[in-house]
Structure 1
Amino acid sequence: MMNFWGSEWMDSSNSTEILDRRRLSEAWYKKTIIEMFTEYNIDDKIEFIKSDKIEALLVFHVEKLWKGFSKKWSSSFHTDNCKHTECSKAIIIDGHMKGTRSVCAARGVQYVESKELGTVEMGCWKMPCKGSMYCQDHKNLQMQDHKAPVAKEYDNEEDSTDCKTLKEKGPLIKCKTAGICASVYNCGIINGMKELYGCESLTQVYMFLVWLAKELLHFPNLLAYDDACHLKKFIINPLRAIKSQYSQFLAALRIVVDKMHFANHVDKWCRRNVNPYTDEQFKNINTEACEQTFQFVAKYKYSIQLNICHMENIICSC
């Protein structure tokens, strides 16, 4: 049997202490997070990381990390080095249901305040305890009905088309995330990503777009999405569109269905208002940039999403 240097630490037969694999995991997490802090000019310092504190640590810092990521890849760092002839002319967003994770089954336990949508009810997004449907904070709760987080709607206009593409009417993924919603420039550079809960609801997609409008240094006026008909009606709702400067900005965007999914949109309103083939500004735009990016990201669905997105951007910009 071949012996490797240091292998005695993994052998309990000689009465030595075994090197716990969790220490290696903790060291890797700490190294990765420190590298990301350095990459995005975040001054926070990381002390010793324990296995049972990793989730809390990531939750505490993840917003800063994503902001740093989005600002970097929407800045001149990207545009000055991109070789794509139509660099950053449009944003394509899409949901990706691979790489879901288990979440606490508690619902209606926290709320997100949105100037554009009001108070949005959310479930708990922490990991459940081993052998339980609930996290440590909610382990005493009884099993509840599962429903996707939704905003208070002003009307049902978003559902007034014949297209069967409204995603929040699909089956909910109970006690799991619904994957992620990604934002990608048409040249293939990822500029933002958010985890989805319950389903790919209009509320969550809209809140993600508002977040992008706040954080991106460059947000072009062209947007493609596979369910653009429902999203556009949601965005241009007269009562919602005047809520803030960001809702006004989104309402002014040119929004179309991506070319691959447009065949599924049969309603006359869709054909008239979100047709990528009749809008000259989308003539040379790669509206499938998200789908192409997901082919790469899906290979690493159990890794840190932000790190993988950074890797994909480096590859695309070469």
Structure 2
Amino acid sequence: MKTVDSLNRQAFNGEQHQEHIMDRRTLARMMFIYNIVQFDLFIGSPCVDLPRSLDQNDDWVWSVYPRLFASFIYFWSRHKEILGPCTGNKCSEALVVDGHQKCRRRVCKAKEIEIKTDLFEKMIVGCCRTPLRYSKYCELHLHKHPETDNNKQKNSRELVISSHIRSWKTRRSQKEKHFGATGCCTSKARGDSYVRKCARSFGVIAAVTNCCIVTTFGEFFRTETLKEILQLLTNSIKVSGVVPKTAVYDDGCHLIEYLHKHIGKDLAETYAAKALSQIKFSVDRTYFRNHVGSWCRANMNPDKNPLLENINTQAAEQLFSWLKELDRNQH
């Protein structure tokens, strides 16, 4: 970097001008590669592989992502042990889970991608790839979804009506059973009609310690579903081996209800899933007033959770606010 700085200073002092304007996408790729290499060295890799050319950048990123992401989860989940506590005796006392929808991006409109995980035999996710230019689909799904063929698809009005009917039937059939959490109108899932029409991602989800350290994160391509949140949290436990003492999520009542009702059935009873089911969840103090279910009011109150005494349950919101301000300043 010192060599680069000296060359830049020499060019500036000599009034030398750049003859060709660099493509901003090329510059962005170079910066991404630099930061990825920097992180790879940071986690202790003795050597780092690089793509032979920028054209191979995407394939290279896909190949190194699983390893680097696992290292990220392990390091920051255990930062208290590795680096020492950052906030005295309150470091990593709680995990705050929250979503952030201000960083949405264009994604392929293929919304019915079915995957199998260690937790679920079947999970529907959206395609994460960027669409081709002048298209709504990526290179992998363009031939499967001809954009001129609209005869096989319902029109938007039919989709909206059917979605409303399903929602009405679901609400009508709901009863106060065991958890009683379904009385809270705090579900994050969107209807199929909205999901199919939407050509952008649904933001990111992050698990943040009360000391504002991101331990894991993910991106939503359909909607914020309970399955994807459970998969995110169990992956973190499996990779890091760290089980948080307590956790906070603004829709924690539905998350806990789903976990306890489905574990051992269509949700595999893995070590991570069983560990997650034993964690005491609460609702963020900011959103608890929106929760009206009887079980939720009795069991999800953060002020009645002794593990959250003097704990910052708004760490994720504060982090996202800082990121938003940082992004604004960058532009």
TM-score range (shorter-chain normalised) is: 0.7 to 0.9
SS of the counterpart of 2:220?
strand
- CA displacement at 1:245 relative to structure 2: 1.1
Alignment partners' CA distance in 2, 1:260 and 1:248: 28
Q: Aligned partner of 2:63: which letter?
A: F
Cα separation, partners in 2 of 1:301 and 1:112, compared to 1, 3 Å: farther
SS of the counterpart of 1:135?
coil
Q: Aligned partner of 1:239: which letter?
A: G
Report the structure number with the largest CA radius of gyration. Answer: 2
1:87 aligns with 2:111: no
Which position in structure 2 is the counterpart of 1:281? 307
Alignment partners' CA distance in 1, 2:138 and 2:56: 13
Which position in structure 2 is the counterpart of 1:252? 278
Which position in structure 1 is the counterpart of 2:120? 117
1:129 aligns with 2:132: yes
Which position in structure 2 is the counterpart of 1:150? none
- Of the three residues 191, 215, 220, the one matched with 1:191 is 215
Which position in structure 2 is the counterpart of 1:268? 294
Cα separation, partners in 2 of 1:221 and 1:186, compared to 1, 3 Å: same
Which position in structure 2 is the counterpart of 1:239? 264
Q: How does 1:95-174 map to 2 (within 5 A)?
A: 95-108=99-112, 110-140=113-143, 141-143=145-147, 161-169=182-190, 171-172=194-195, 174=198
Which position in structure 2 is the counterpart of 1:309? none
- CA displacement at 1:112 relative to structure 2: 2.3
1:176 aligns with 2:200: yes
Q: Aligned partner of 1:162: which letter?
A: G
- How many residue pairs match? The answer is 285
Cα separation, partners in 2 of 1:118 and 1:19, compared to 1, 3 Å: closer
CA contact (8 A) 1:93 1:182 kept: yes
- CA displacement at 1:243 relative to structure 2: 1.6
Which position in structure 1 is the counterpart of 2:162? none
1:34 aligns with 2:58: no
Unpaired runs of at least 5, structure 2:
1-11, 148-152, 160-173
Q: How does 1:42-53 map to 2 (within 5 A)?
A: 42=45, 43-50=47-54, 52-53=55-56
CA contact (8 A) 2:206 2:216 kept: yes
Unpaired runs of at least 5, structure 1:
11-17, 148-155, 303-318
1:202 aligns with 2:205: no
Per-residue deviation, residues 190-212 of structure 1 (Å, max 9, x unmatched): 11111112111111111111111
Which position in structure 1 is the counterpart of 2:253? 229
More helix by share: 2
CA contact (8 A) 1:91 1:219 kept: no
Which sits farther off after the overlay, 190-199 or 214-223?
214-223
Which position in structure 2 is the counterpart of 1:73? 76
Cα separation, partners in 2 of 1:123 and 1:20, compared to 1, 3 Å: closer
Cα separation, partners in 2 of 1:8 and 1:285, compared to 1, 3 Å: closer
- Identity %, equivalent residues: 27
CA contact (8 A) 2:111 2:125 kept: yes
